[in-house]
Amino acid sequence: MLYAIQGEDIAGSLPQRLAARPEHLARLQMLQDAGRLLLAGPFPAIDAIDPGPAGFSGSLIVAEFASLAEAKTWAEADPYVAAGVYAQVSVKPFKKVLPA
């Protein structure tokens, strides 16, 4: 089943985000290589593709996991969690409707 993982950034955590980004992206690449990643990306803190020093307000990942528990375990091990980027992370079942 698909799960939406949403992380909410701590204000001012851009330096930690940038430092942990390579490891974060490597984990996402593993999901993609396994055919389990639907989409992933950050929320710019301002209305711009490249928010510069304004940074990001969080991230969204939609991926396939065997269970909610597995998705939560995966999310808790995110390098952004360990680096102190996220204030909180939510994991919810997700039903893709469109595009078909």
pLDDT digits (tens, 9 = 90+) for 39-96: 999 999 999 999 999 999 999 999 999 999 999 999 999 999 999 999 999 999 999 9
pTM, two decimals, is 0.95
Name residue 88's beta-bridge partners: 8
What integer pLDDT is reported at residue 71 of this predicted model? Answer: 98
What is the C-alpha separation between 44 and 35, in angstroms, rounded? 26
Structural domain spans, the chain: 2-94
What integer pLDDT is reported at residue 29 of this predicted model? Answer: 98
What is the C-alpha separation between 55 and 43, in angstroms, rounded? 9
What integer pLDDT is reported at residue 52 of this predicted model? Answer: 96
Of 77, 94, 76, which is closest to residue 37 (Cα–Cα)? 94
Residues 55 and 17 sit within 8 Å (Cβ to Cβ): yes
What integer pLDDT is reported at residue 31 of this predicted model? Answer: 98
What integer pLDDT is reported at residue 10 of this predicted model? Answer: 97
Q: What is the mean pLDDT of residues 3-26?
A: 98
Give helix then strand counts, H and E, for the chain.
Answer: 3, 4
User: pLDDT digits over 22-39, tens only?
Assistant: 999 999 999 999 999 999
Residues 89 and 60 sit within 8 Å (Cβ to Cβ): no
Q: Which architecture characterizes domain 2-94 according to CATH? A: 2-Layer Sandwich (3.30)
